[in-house]
Every structure is written in C-alpha cells, then in structure tokens.
Amino acid sequence: GLPELVSRSDIARAKRIANPGCYATAAQIGIAPLVEFLGGQPTVFGVSGYSGAGTKPSPKNDVENLRENLIPYSLTDHIHEREISSQLGVNVAFIPHVASWFQGIHHTISVPLDRTFTSRDIRQIYQDRYAGEKLVKVTGEPPSVKAISGKHGVEVGGFGVHSSGKRVVVCATIDNLLKGAATQCLQNMNLALGFAETPSPVSTAASSPLAVPQPFGISTVPTLYTAQLNTAGADGSSSSSDALAGHAQPKDSQDTTDMGSRILERLEEEEIAQLARLEEDSAA
C-alpha cells in the first residue's frame, strides 16, 4: 500500500491493503530509484520523534530521558528492516533511533553504487522517478525534520556523492503520524473506494496539506478540514484559501452536527442497499 511505488490499480483492486510502516515508507522512497544501480547493501540511519515509540511508557518515550539524548534500539532485525528489504527485493541494513522531538523522521541513507555517478546524475534519477507525485518532493539540500513535521509528504534530498563516485548519501524525511500513517491510509482508502487519491485542489509540494474528500457526495465539509486545504497559485506557490468555494460551510456546531447526521443517514442507506444486494445474490 505505498502508492508511489506500488501499482495504484493493484491497490484499487486489492481486498486487503497493508499500510506501510513510517520508517519503511521513507526508506523505500529514499532507496527505490537506485535499486538497479546498487553496488552493495544500503544502510539506513533512522531517527524518529518519540511519538513513534508507542503509547506504552518506556525509556524511548520518556521526555525526561530523551532530553539532550539519542537512543538507539533494535540495532539489527528491526521489523521495518525486514519490511524494507522485502518490499525493495534487496537486503537493507536499518538502524533506528528515537530522539527528543515529538513527530517526524529523518533517514540518512548510505547507498553503494555499481558505477560512477555525479550528484547531478543522482538527483535527476530521483526527479524522473517521482515526477508528478504530489506527496514526494525532491530537493537539492538535505531535508529537515522541522520542515516536514505536520506535513503530508516525503522529502528526499542531499545526494552527496563520495569522491570515488560510487557511493551516495541520500536523506529522506517524513512525518510518522501523517504520510507514515494517517495520510497514507487515506491515500489507500481513497484508491480502494474509487475516490481521487489526493483530491483537488492540492499543491504538488510535499509540504502541502492533504485535501479531505467529500464523503459520499455530501458537499458540506467541516471547517477543520477546509481550513487545511491549499490551492496552487499561477506561479506554483501555495496559499491558504477557501478551497471549497461554492460549497456550504458549517457556521456553528449545530451545522456540523446536522452534517454529521446526514453523513450517518447516508451511510445507513448505503449499508441497507448493500445488504439488499447481498440477499439478492444469495437468492440467485
């Protein structure tokens, strides 16, 4: 269920969709364009905010323990090491760490190459691979956790090539709670249910908020969502706007409650219709 790397038509037809892990999503996007040029095993040095350490109290999500600290864990055979390797079809070493910030992941990925490349060559490979992907941004400079936190995409950059030309270091960042979890889940749900994967209007920048689809054709969307929508200007820049111009917006909590009631009514209608179809199929 990683739409940028897996056939979207396969996701749309699937009966079961596994949402990729947060570490695994950023690592796969960071390595995939170079798989055919690998000269050895890539190594991923991953650092996550403590929201990725789970809700059960532990030293890895203890704010005081994390203060001015960096904690390595599961140094080999981490579940995402196996996931990354399995999905890419190559062995990848993954070394996870947890840091003192709340959300956001940074990967520093060292990739041996089987031939000589320049940094410009590598960047072009990534730009070609992710051209048109709304939630992947390729940058020249290494991306930062601070810039990706609270955003919906993945940023990939750096592309520092060793003097030999046969090793490159790629950096990738992702918000573990968004593209690493909820955003990607919405992408997969939208594909499976026949909605637009990232409904318009949405900017092509990875840092743009993800537009939320109008459920079951109902035109009223909570203000919480519409406030997050962006439209792209003629110059490609993004600016906050009323992205749902022409659609009724809830003016108060009563409007939102009424909208919720209509959604529930529509869901019940859909469920009743589906049950009726199943009964007809059984009778046939």
- Is 171 a residue of the active site? no
Beta bridge partners of 47: 97, 106
Q: Are 148 and 173 in contact (CB under 8 A)?
A: yes
Catalytic residue among 2, 11, 22, 88: 22
Q: Among all residues, which ones are annotated catalytic?
A: 22
